[in-house]
Amino acid sequence: MAISLSEQLESDIKEYLHKTFGTYFSSLDERFAADIKKDVISASDFHHEHYNDDDISIAFQRVTLGRMGHLDWQIYHLCTDTEANTMKQNVKVNTPIHIRPASPEEAGLFYSELDETADERLGTVGHVRIDFGSSGKGFYHTWWPHNDDQFNTEDFKGELQEVVDMLRADGPLKDLASMRSYCYRNGGEITEDGQCYGYVVDTEHYRYCLRCTPSPGDYQGYLYCYDLRQQQMAQQAKPVGRVTYASGEQTEFTDATAFLQTIREELPYMATTGFRYKLLTENPDICKAVDDILLDFAGEDNPRRACNYGLTEKGIKAMQDAADQTLPHTYAWFVITDCNTSGEHIFRDLTLEEAIHTYLGSDRPEKRIGVTKDGIATVDLVRSLDGEQQFFTDHLKLDSFKCDPEVAAAVETLRLELEQNTPQQGMTMGGLS
């Protein structure tokens, strides 16, 4: 005898509750099932005779979280302590935590910061070092405190446990084989050799950055933990800029928005007021924003990107190595379209041939080709704006590129290819990219 869609939904919900809690509690299941069914019917395509497992899972989470603050949640006290703890733990595991692959620009967050001041500014709580043992199925971990362990609160410890439980339940920390599969499936490479992958989990107050090395013989995981509130306080507490006037008046700003707005408002009157500004931060976003304002005042666009501003001590050392022609180097070509707009798109990790093909095949009004050397030094080489080609000359000035024969040869290749394949509307030499 065929059953109705409503009866099938009731059956699927009970099966989900059995699978989630592992034990059947008749009074709890009946009340849960009724609420979950109501939620599925109201939020899914049930009226179009369709629902799926995700609809049930999401409804379960909504109903569960709602009951946590409701008197009906006291029904849990009718269970034994062991049963209640199991149910509460399952609720935590089933509460969604979003994990995303890292971008190359975030790679620094997956390593220990040598500069204690920078570590404090980042609000680093600490990091967990993880390995799966010789079997690949163990889970051995060590906690390394940062900032004298002052941010390691009880609330943080509880949330860290939830995040790790989630990553172990069905994520990259389940075992070595699962980590390898997860990384290859989701990407997130943060090193040029493709051996390390990065994943980010953001919660209301914390950011968790998991570095995965899915190879036996290494520590397979490093989980860096940052307190976002400490980051905000550090940013607010330190001045980002200072403005002065001919009258002797002087103001320091800890609020970046107010500092930028003052520059924007006072710049037109600087000849009469003696207005001057000084940056007191190396934050790349703020540095770029100031340049944006100055160039906009001059009637120009800023072709530089945020990644061209600011370096840590570790980054400076890497840049020095990139300039050393006695060392081996790697080159990853990229194409950017609609740079510095909301529609910006980057094609990364290309060969030179692939980059030229992508560039020529794009019909976007603004596009450019550049190269990243050793995963740290980046330069844009050519730009097309509304059909006019402009070759930048930064590579002739920057230490990482000016003596590099491979980059010099690539520029000549680019010039020949573009002269042959693009309309001769115009081709110029330019400055900073």
Average pLDDT rounded to a whole number, residues 157-166:
90
Q: How far apart are CA 189 and CA 374, in angstroms?
A: 14
Q: How far apart are CA 431 and CA 225, in angstroms?
A: 40
Q: Please work out, in degrees rounded to the nearest 5, the angle formed at the alpha carbon of residue 322 by the alpha carbons of 321 and 327.
A: 70
Q: Specify whether the CB–CB gap between 173 and 164 falls below 8 A.
A: yes
Q: How far apart are CA 366 and CA 19, in angstroms?
A: 53
The per-residue pLDDT for range 184-206, each reduced to its tens digit, is 988 888 887 788 999 999 888 89
Average pLDDT rounded to a whole number, residues 317-321:
75
Q: How far apart are CA 408 and CA 31, in angstroms?
A: 72
The per-residue pLDDT for range 39-49, each reduced to its tens digit, is 777 765 566 66
Asked if residue 50 has pLDDT above 80, the reply is no
User: 174: which DSSP letter?
Assistant: S
Average pLDDT rounded to a whole number, residues 163-187:
89
Contacts of 153 (CB under 8 A, 6+ apart): none
pTM score, two decimals? 0.40
Average pLDDT rounded to a whole number, residues 134-153:
89
Asked if residue 219 has pLDDT above 80, the reply is yes
Alpha helices in 50-131 (DSSP H): 53-68, 81-94, 116-122
Q: Ramachandran region of residue 259, left (φ > 0), alpha (ψ -120 to 50) or beta?
A: alpha
Asked if residue 259 has pLDDT above 90, the reply is yes
Residue bearing the bigger pLDDT, 307 or 64: 64
Evaluate the CA torsion angle 302, 308, 310, 316 in order and state its sign: negative
Q: Specify whether the CB–CB gap between 197 and 99 falls below 8 A.
A: no
Residue bearing the bigger pLDDT, 422 or 390: 390
Q: Specify whether the CB–CB gap between 231 and 122 falls below 8 A.
A: yes
Q: Nearest to residue 184, comparing CAs of 220, 214, 224, 139? A: 214
Asked if residue 17 has pLDDT above 60, the reply is yes
Q: What is the pLDDT of residue 315?
A: 59
Q: Nearest to residue 277, comparing CAs of 44, 160, 264? A: 264
Helix/strand/coil for 311: coil
Q: What is the pLDDT of residue 368?
A: 92
Which helix (H) or strand (E) covers residue 143, if one does?
strand 140-145
The per-residue pLDDT for range 367-390, each reduced to its tens digit, is 999 998 888 788 889 988 888 888
* The residue to which tokens 């930048």 are assigned: 392
Q: How far apart are CA 176 and CA 158, in angstroms?
A: 25
Q: What is the pLDDT of residue 181?
A: 92
Which residues is 145 bridged to in the sheet? Answer: 126
Structure tokens at 25: 């509690």
Contacts of 158 (CB under 8 A, 6+ apart): none
Contacts of 214 (CB under 8 A, 6+ apart): 172, 176, 179, 180, 183, 197, 220
Which helix (H) or strand (E) covers residue 99, if one does?
strand 99-101
CA atoms within 13 A on the CB side of 103: 6
User: 267: which DSSP letter?
Assistant: G
**Rg of the chain (C-alpha set):** 28
